Amino acid sequence: MKGALEQFLTYLRYEKNYSSQTIRAYRRDLTDFLSFLDKNGINSLNEVKVEHIRLHLVGLMRRYKRRTVSRRLSSLRSFFNFLLKKGVIEKQPTEAIFNPKQERDLPKFLTVDETFALLKAPQTSLKESRKGVFELRDKAILELLYATGMRVSEISGLNMEDVDLGRNSILVYGKGRKERLVFFGGPARQALISYIKARNQLLKHNSGRALFLNAKGTRLSSRSIHRIVKKYSVLSGVALYKNVYPHILRHSFATHLLNQGADLITVQELLGHASLATTQKYTHLTVERLMAVYDKTHPRS
């Protein structure tokens, strides 16, 4: 069974062009499922029935939120579809199982004032010092997260050639290696220029073309970017009343655009959402703007 899992992960990596982060998630989900099969005395994937899938999901529901269980079920579907196409199994055991009904969790976001406080947190006055290089790097990362709405994995994966300072744009490789173009304004441009000028101080013989580098001169990881955002959320004081993480800047980006009148289709394109329904979750966050327009324009308001 482990051999089949490795074949599937190889397929995701080389044929579907999935990111290493996505592949790790699939590995975690499916390894957990294979352990479940082993504990229940199931030694062949051909022996898996719909009852086994349901029992596994019941166990997951006791430990995780419904959204996580849905994602794990999606992993199982993809795995068994792959096995069916390869002739490893004769029947798809997940086809009669529906996703659990989702909770309507509202996306968390920062206000404009909170966002600006976070962006001002890196102290970039000591530009020539070793510490100054990291401050410039961190400033550029924070500015780009908010200016573009990029995912943390997309920021981590940026290369030098992806950035066009002449057009204030970045070519992003999103989920499934799908390309999209994102844009940034003056503050993010200046932060990028300042960092790129100082980037040579971090270069090593093995640095490659990665835009954001760590102290070893290699590509900055998504986990490190999480730590950077947490650090400045504390320094700015925003962490006193908000749980700040990289994705909250993506939520803030979408919310602020919609509050200023951007249309859903544009925001969908900028975020790289495959479905407009995914972007629509942000519309409820613009109620305050809608109420203001109503009060201003309706004759009987």
Which tops the pLDDT comparison, 294 or 208? 208
Identify each DSSP E strand in the chain by its residue range. Answer: 163-164, 169-173, 179-183
Predicted confidence at residue 208, as pLDDT, reads: 81
- 149 forms beta bridges with none
Predicted confidence at residue 102, as pLDDT, reads: 59
Mean pLDDT score, 137-149:
94
**What's the CATH superfamily of 112-293?**
Intergrase catalytic core (1.10.443.10)
Does an H or E element contain 252, and which? helix 246-259
Whether 175 is a known active-site residue: answer: yes
Q: Over the stretch 20-30, which tens digit does the pLDDT of each residue have?
A: 888 899 999 99
Select which of 72, 139, 250, 251 is catalytic: 250
Predicted confidence at residue 301, as pLDDT, reads: 47
Select which of 13, 108, 230, 247 is catalytic: 247
Select which of 27, 71, 175, 230 is catalytic: 175
Whether 137 is a known active-site residue: answer: no
Q: Is it the case that residue 159 has pLDDT exceeding 80? A: yes
HEC-encoded secondary structure of the chain: CHHHHHHHHHHHHHCCCCCHHHHHHHHHHHHHHHHHHHHCCCCCHHHCCHHHHHHHHHHHHHHCCHHHHHHHHHHHHHHHHHHHHCCCCCCCCCCCCCCCCCCCCCCCCCCHHHHHHHHCCCCCCCCCCHHHHHHHHHHHHHHHHHHHCCCHHHHHCCEHHHEECCCCEEEEECHHHCEEEEECCHHHHHHHHHHHHHHHHHCCCCCCCECCECCCCCECCHHHHHHHHHHHHHHHCHHHCCCCCHHHHHHHHHHHHHHCCCCHHHHHHHHCCCCHHHHHHHHHHHHHHHHHHHHHHCCCC
Residues 192 and 190: their CA atoms lie apart, in Å, by 5
Q: Over the stretch 165-217, which tens digit does the pLDDT of each residue have?
A: 999 999 988 776 678 889 999 999 999 999 999 999 998 877 789 999 999 99
Q: 108 with 255: CB under 8 angstroms?
A: no
Select which of 72, 199, 251, 273 is catalytic: 273
Nearest one of 220, 271, 249 to 121, comparing CA atoms = 249
Query: What is the model's pTM?
Result: 0.65
Whether 151 is a known active-site residue: answer: yes
Sketch the domain layout of the chain as residue ranges. 2-85, 112-293
Q: Which CATH number fits domain 2-85: 1.10.10.1110, 1.10.760.10, 3.40.30.10, 1.10.150.130?
A: 1.10.150.130
Residues 126 and 231: their CA atoms lie apart, in Å, by 18
Select which of 18, 26, 173, 282 is catalytic: 282
Whether 101 is a known active-site residue: answer: no
Select which of 151, 199, 219, 251 is catalytic: 151
Cβ neighbours for 159, distance < 8 A, ≥ 6 positions apart: 208, 209, 210, 211
